[in-house]
């Protein structure tokens, strides 16, 4: 299979493969669309089961970043990069510097940020070799607290406000006291989301592949731990996927009991038709690239200027955008993902006309 015939290929502008035998680097950078500006998206490091799995991930994720930036009204395009390898075993300074040189060779068409398997210190190491990294500068955060560039707090806050909007729309509730939420994934974003929810009075059921993350949520937040097989099918109000994507498929959707899906994970639907399947089951889906745009909003202001108040005001628009999507979906009797796609496409396609 060639990239052009790949089912996830969506007229991507550029797809670049990098290999450095000296450091063990094997990476792919995908630039989906740059109509609104340079492509920005996270650099993910993950031990993919196959090269095809890595290609599929980077194609899907880069497309999602185009839609995310457009829906958030940012002057950015969409791109993504993946490094094939186990971040706990294969990561080294030499590998990260090699990745930095690869990014520099793209001449600013793609800007990398933190993602699953990479951190702010990792991006700073890449930054020794390139100017094309973001989210690495110390600055006041949207909440007034010092930030080292990590976009996770902004992402988690945006998901929290989006979850509130979804609960208001679907459940008619203006508060979260006693709300039951199942959170899949307790990394940088998932744990912060869990804390926001706990502080708002929600009751939490959680799962994470890392036992220490799970234990922390139990100890600090009083969450109830469950297994990987249980987390999506619990009888809760909200399911919040905050790990890897494609978790909602024919089987998992049939087993859902929640009325709302609102989480931070990218590409949560395994296939496009699952959007309609959720609608038919009466489950309100907060499109992932709409609800998890907080991180890229924070990074945009870091690069282009703007204080904490401006960032927070922009983050609060996530809830307004989602409410618009929900209302239009109701009026037109269409799935929410379809409506979100239409809104985003209007914004990034018109920019080039």
- Would you please indicate which residues are annotated as catalytic (active-site) residues? 80
- Nearest Cα to Cα of residue 248 among 274, 280, 221: 274
* Strand-strand pairing, 77-84 and 25-33: antiparallel
Number of H helices, E strands in the chain: 12, 13
Residue 313, number of CB atoms within 10 A of its CB: 11
Q: Which residues neighbour 91 within 8 Å (Cβ) at sequence distance 6 or greater? A: 45, 85, 117, 122
Q: Name the helix (H) or strand (E) containing 290.
A: helix 288-291
Q: Is 47 exposed, middle or buried (0-12, 13-18, 19+ CB in 10 A)?
A: middle
Gap between the Cα atoms of 224 and 203, Å rounded = 9
- Nearest Cα to Cα of residue 326 among 274, 291, 281, 277: 291
The token pair at 101 is: 């040189």
């Amino acid at each position: 299979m060639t990239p052009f015939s790949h089912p996830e290929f969506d007229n991507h502008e550029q797809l670049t493969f990098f290999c450095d035998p000296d450091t063990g680097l094997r990476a792919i950078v995908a630039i989906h669309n740059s109509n609104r500006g340079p492509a920005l998206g996270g650099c993910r490091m993950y031990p993919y089961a196959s090269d095809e799995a890595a290609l599929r991930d980077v194609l899907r994720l880069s497309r999602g970043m185009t839609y995310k930036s457009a829906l958030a009204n940012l002057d950015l395009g969409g791109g993504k990069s993946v490094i094939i390898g186990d971040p706990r075993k294969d990561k080294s300074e030499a590998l990260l510097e090699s990745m930095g040189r690869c990014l520099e060779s793209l001449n600013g068409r793609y800007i990398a940020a933190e993602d699953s398997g990479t951190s702010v210190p990792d991006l700073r190491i890449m930054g020794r070799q390139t100017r094309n990294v973001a989210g690495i500068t110390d600055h006041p955060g949207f909440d007034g607290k010092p930030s080292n560039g990590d976009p996770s707090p902004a992402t988690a806050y945006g998901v929290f406000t989006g979850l509130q909007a979804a609960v208001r729309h679907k459940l008619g509730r203006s508060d979260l006291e006693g709300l039951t939420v199942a959170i899949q994934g307790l990394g940088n974003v998932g744990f912060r989301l869990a804390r926001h929810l706990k502080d708002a009075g929600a009751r939490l059921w959680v799962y994470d592949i890392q036992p220490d993350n799970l234990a922390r949520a139990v100890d600090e937040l009083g969450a109830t731990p469950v297994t990987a097989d249980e987390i999506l099918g619990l009888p809760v109000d909200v399911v919040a996927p905050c790990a890897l994507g494609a978790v909602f498929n024919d089987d998992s959707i049939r087993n859902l009991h929640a009325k709302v899906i609102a989480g931070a994970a990218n590409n949560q639907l395994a296939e496009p038709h699952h959007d309609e399947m959720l609608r038919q089951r009466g489950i309100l889906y907060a499109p992932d690239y709409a609800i998890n745009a907080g991180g890229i909003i924070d990074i945009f202001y870091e690069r282009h200027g703007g204080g904490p108040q401006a960032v927070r005001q922009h983050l609060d628009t996530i809830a307004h955008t989602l409410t618009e999507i929900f209302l239009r979906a109701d009026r037109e009797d269409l799935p929410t993902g379809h409506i979100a796609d239409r809104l985003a496409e209007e914004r990034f396609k018109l920019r080039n006309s």
